[in-house]
């Protein structure tokens, strides 16, 4: 199966011919019989020609003027064909030496010049190694955190390698970028195994794994200072319509006009004096009593700290 593309119109034509190995097509014993069996529609198509090579051991497929050709995908024996213009377009290939080679001729010359006396230079016979260098956030992260996984790529210097990451936590799959860095957002709490898989040019695989504990966020404190002059009261019992707050600095305040709220912010300026000084911070013991009308519903207590 040969595909030819018209350089001007970009139209791709696919031509196929069955030769030998069942299907009603006659088997062939040599290249000459193969050429004859292909017939004129394949050997001298509008887009390309198929000819026997000089040694009579293979064929050459050559694009005609204005066309580019390649073997269609899925042709298992494509390595046995000697192609001219074997790719749709000339494009750079990168060698193991880091050099860039444009087109088939340069690439073949590069391959022919390679010293193959020591194949370990290209990773042949060298096993890949997998090691996790770092997980940002360490081994303990929070639900909703986006975490990056980094492999120690310094261990693999001979050959070519691909890195992939996975985590069987039932959430969204981990992604791996071109540099081999994994990214994962954890959606649920638990202890999960992060798996690094390293594959080399021979298909050999090495794996490394590490446990990551994903923690659920803590519930908000019942009483917390959210900025310099504002205290937030959380988890208030309901129904409610009024709060009576004892600030812990000798002051008290009645808050009205609320309606069955579970969270409420109240402004208060604390005196930062010696009576409340605890060294690194000032500390105040706060109590809030919750009412619905004049019916007592419940209370919350807690400490507010202002750090120096």
Residue 119 lies in a domain: no
Residue 179 lies in a domain: yes
What whole-number percentage of the chain has pLDDT above 90?
44
- Position 273 scores a pLDDT of 94
Please name which of 164, 160, 162, 163 lies closest in space to residue 126, comparing C-alpha atoms.
Answer: 160
Q: Is 49 exposed, middle or buried (0-12, 13-18, 19+ CB in 10 A)?
A: middle
Residue 294 lies in a domain: yes
- Position 285 scores a pLDDT of 94
Q: Which of 165, 184, 215 is the last residue of a domain?
A: 215
- Position 25 scores a pLDDT of 57
Instruction: Name the pLDDT band for 84 (thresholds 50, 70, 90).
Output: very low
H, E, C per residue of 157-206: CCCCEEEEEEECCCCCCCEECCCCCEEEECCCCEEEEEEEEEEECCCCEE
Distance of alpha carbon 80 from alpha carbon 133, whole angstroms: 43
Q: Does residue 301 have a pLDDT over 60?
A: yes
128 and 169 in contact (C-beta within 8 Å)? Answer: no
State pLDDT tens for residues 233-287.
Answer: 999 999 999 999 999 999 999 999 999 999 999 999 999 999 999 999 999 999 9
Residue 263 lies in a domain: yes
- Position 21 scores a pLDDT of 52
Distance of alpha carbon 22 from alpha carbon 196, whole angstroms: 45
State pLDDT tens for residues 148-198.
Answer: 999 999 999 888 899 999 988 877 788 888 788 999 998 888 999 999 999
CATH code of the domain containing 268: 2.60.40
Residue 91 lies in a domain: no
- 198 and 231 housed in the same domain: no
Residue 211 lies in a domain: yes
Q: Does residue 290 have a pLDDT over 90?
A: yes
CATH code of the domain containing 184: 2.60.40.10
20 and 28 in contact (C-beta within 8 Å)? Answer: yes
38 and 47 in contact (C-beta within 8 Å)? Answer: no
Q: Does residue 28 have a pLDDT over 90?
A: no
Q: Which of 157, 182, 215 is the last residue of a domain?
A: 215
- Position 95 scores a pLDDT of 79
What whole-number percentage of the chain has pLDDT above 70?
91
- Position 85 scores a pLDDT of 40
Listed in sequence order, the residues at least 6 apart from 44 whose beta carbon sits closer than 8 Å to its beta carbon are 50
Mean pLDDT (the chain, rounded): 85
Residue 107 lies in a domain: no
- 172 and 242 housed in the same domain: no
Number of domains in the chain: 3
- Domain of residue 192 covers 132-215
258 and 240 in contact (C-beta within 8 Å)? Answer: yes
Q: What are phi and psi of 121, to 5 degrees?
A: -60, -30
Q: Does residue 146 have a pLDDT over 50?
A: yes
Helix (H, G, I), strand (E, B) or coil at 294: coil
Residue 68 lies in a domain: yes
- 142 and 204 housed in the same domain: yes
């Amino acid at each position: 199966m040969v595909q030819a593309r018209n350089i001007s119109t970009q139209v791709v034509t696919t031509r196929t011919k069955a030769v030998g190995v069942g299907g009603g097509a006659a088997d062939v014993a040599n290249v000459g019989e193969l050429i004859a069996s292909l017939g004129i529609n394949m050997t001298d198509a509008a887009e390309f020609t198929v000819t026997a090579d000089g040694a009579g051991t293979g064929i050459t497929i050559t694009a005609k003027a204005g066309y580019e050709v390649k073997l269609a995908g899925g042709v298992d024996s494509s390595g046995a064909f000697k192609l001219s213009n074997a790719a749709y377009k000339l494009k750079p290939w990168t060698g193991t030496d880091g050099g860039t080679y444009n087109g088939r001729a340069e690439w073949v010359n590069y391959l022919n010049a390679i010293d193959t006396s020591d194949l370990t230079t290209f990773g042949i016979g060298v096993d890949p190694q997998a090691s996790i260098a770092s997980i940002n956030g360490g081994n303990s992260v929070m639900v909703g955190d986006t975490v990056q996984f980094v492999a120690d790529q310094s261990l693999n210097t001979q050959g070519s390698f691909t890195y992939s990451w996975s985590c069987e936590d039932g959430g969204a799959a981990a992604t791996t970028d071109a540099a081999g860095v994994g990214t994962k957002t954890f959606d649920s709490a638990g202890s999960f195994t992060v798996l690094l898989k390293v594959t080399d040019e021979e298909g050999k695989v090495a794996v490394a794994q590490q446990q990551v504990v994903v923690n659920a966020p803590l519930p908000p404190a019942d009483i917390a200072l959210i900025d310099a002059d504002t205290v937030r009261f959380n988890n208030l019992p309901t129904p409610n319509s009024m709060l009576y707050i004892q600030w812990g600095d000798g002051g008290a305040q009645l808050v009205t006009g609320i309606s069955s709220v579970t969270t409420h912010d109240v402004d208060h300026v604390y005196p930062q004096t010696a009576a409340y000084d605890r060294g690194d911070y000032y500390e105040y013991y706060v109590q809030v009593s919750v009412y619905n009308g004049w019916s007592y519903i419940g209370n919350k207590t807690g400490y507010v700290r202002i750090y120096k």
